[in-house]
């Protein structure tokens, strides 16, 4: 898993509340078992017109936000089904984090397990980011996980909370498998006592 320390990137603002996982990655694209290849289908129903061409009205199709790696959305982002593919699609598209005033619990937990940072800011702080997006489409933001701060030059700054354990996992690029492998010596000793083969 790629560590997350400090990231500076273009911001895409999505002025929508209750963005659910079926919109993030529609169900017809859930046939893959790998974590890759989902980015092309991110927000498919919103990004594409019926003829398959780009919807010029959709936020991520705007020229100013091409290559955006930070997403700002309204409250209750990631609601709906528990599909982990939603985080995979956002990551595969190129996003490193999403900012909202509230997240659906399962999406929030899945994000950390996949090295993706969900940041909770107050509604007033999110409003300021939307105002910035309206004035300066495609503005740049820096997310510093070490100091738990997001900044936009000298015009905006805000702190965010994160559980120390989750912060440590992100900083070191450790997922659930990595956490297990940190105990490999103990696991192998346990297996050896019971006559099992050594883990590779």
Dump pLDDT digits (tens) for 169-183: 999 998 766 555 555
Show the tokens assigned to 38: 């989902």
User: How distant is the alpha carbon of residue 136 from its chain centre?
Assistant: 23
Rounded Cα gap, residues 46 and 94, in angstroms: 18
Q: Which domain holds residue 105?
A: 6-161
In a domain, 72, yes or no: yes
Q: What is the CATH number of the domain that holds 69?
A: 3.20.19.10
Q: What is the mean pLDDT of residues 13-31?
A: 95
Determine how many CB atoms are found less than 10 A away from the CB of residue 68. Answer: 23
Q: Check residue 28 and give its pLDDT.
A: 92
In a domain, 185, yes or no: no
Rounded Cα gap, residues 195 and 200, in angstroms: 15
Per-residue b or e along 176-189, where b marks 16 or more CB atoms closer than 10 Å to that residue's CB: eeeeeeeeeeeeee
In a domain, 1, yes or no: no
In a domain, 84, yes or no: yes
pTM strictly above 0.75:
yes
In a domain, 43, yes or no: yes
In a domain, 174, yes or no: no
Q: What is the mean pLDDT of residues 100-125?
A: 97
| Whether residue 127 has pLDDT greater than 90 | yes
Domain total for the chain? 1
In a domain, 49, yes or no: yes
């Amino acid at each position: 898993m790629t560590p997350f320390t400090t990231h500076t990137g273009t911001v895409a603002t999505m002025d929508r509340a209750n963005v659910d996982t079926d919109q993030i990655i529609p169900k017809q694209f859930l046939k893959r078992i790998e974590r890759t290849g989902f980015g092309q289908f991110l927000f498919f129903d919103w990004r594409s017109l019926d003829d398959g061409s780009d919807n010029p009205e959709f936020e991520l199709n705007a020229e100013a936000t091409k290559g955006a790696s930070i997403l700002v959305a309204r409250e209750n982002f990631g609601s709906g089904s528990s599909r982990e593919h939603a985080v995979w699609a956002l990551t595969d598209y190129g996003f490193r984090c999403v900012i909202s005033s509230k997240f659906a619990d399962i999406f929030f937990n899945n994000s950390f397990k996949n090295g993706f940072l969900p940041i909770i800011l107050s509604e007033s702080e999110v409003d300021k980011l939307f105002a910035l997006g309206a004035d300066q489409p495609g503005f740049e933001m820096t997310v510093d996980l070490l100091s738990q701060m997001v900044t936009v030059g000298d015009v905006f700054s805000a702190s965010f909370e994160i559980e120390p354990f989750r912060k440590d996992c992100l900083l070191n690029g450790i997922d659930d498998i990595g956490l297990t492998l940190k105990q490999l010596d103990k696991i192998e000793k346990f297996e050896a006592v019971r006559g099992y083969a050594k883990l590779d």
